[in-house]
């Protein structure tokens, strides 16, 4: 069960649909049934499942996360910029990994579910890791 990886070039504060890349990694794993883990080696990004039919949903999610954790200059930790500090908090809240069931060599998703990479900093070159453990 080797770890598969793929790269993303991101812009600031954008959500990216990574469902096709995750599905490809699951297919290539050779597992027909099991559990997959999507993991980000980044502290200013997150991964989650969001409903995709209405593109305004993505804007709403990104807007609400920004409302909950606004970029500001009074964070106690600031290694780079206020946006970087806010990104650390957003990533901690949303999460940088996701477990998903695998069946039929594909991620098990509802009819309106997609897997999204959320960029809270950027622009950046990012990596997404996928590991599937066969049942």
CATH at residue 107: 2.60.120.460
Q: Write out the residue range of the structural domain in which residue 101 sits.
A: 4-134
Q: Quote the tokens at residue 121.
A: 């900093």
CA-based radius of gyration for the chain: 15
Helix/strand/coil percentages in the chain, nearest 5: 25, 40, 35
Q: Is 14 helix (H, G, I), strand (E, B) or coil?
A: coil
pLDDT band at 72 (very low <50, low <70, confident <90, very high): confident
DSSP 57: H
pLDDT at 58 over 80: yes
pLDDT at 62 over 70: yes
Mean pLDDT of 23-49: 97
Edge to edge, the sheet with strand 4-10 lists 4-10, 124-134, 33-39, 97-103, 106-107
Mean pLDDT of 87-91: 91
Average pLDDT of the chain to the nearest whole number: 92
Place of tokens 């980044």: 42
User: What digits encode the pLDDT tens for the residues 96-120?
Assistant: 999 999 999 999 999 999 999 999 9
Pairing, β 106-107 against β 97-103: antiparallel
Domain count, the chain: 1
pLDDT at 80 over 80: no
Q: Report the C-alpha gap between 29 and 80 in whole angstroms.
A: 37
What sections of 8-130 are H helices per DSSP? 19-29, 56-68, 82-94
């Amino acid at each position: 069960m080797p770890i598969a990886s793929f790269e993303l070039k991101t812009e600031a504060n954008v959500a990216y649909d990574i469902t096709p890349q995750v599905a490809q990694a699951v297919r290539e794993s050779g597992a027909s049934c099991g559990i997959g883990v999507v993991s980000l080696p980044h502290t200013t990004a997150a991964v989650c499942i969001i409903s995709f039919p209405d593109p305004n949903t993505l804007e709403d999610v990104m807007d609400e996360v920004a409302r909950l954790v606004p970029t500001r200059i009074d964070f106690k930790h600031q290694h780079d910029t206020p946006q970087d500090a806010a990104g650390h908090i957003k990533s901690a809240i949303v999460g940088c990994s996701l477990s998903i069931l695998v069946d039929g060599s594909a991620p098990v998703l509802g009819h309106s579910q997609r897997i999204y990479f959320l960029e809270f900093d950027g622009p950046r070159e990012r990596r997404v890791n996928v590991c599937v453990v066969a049942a």
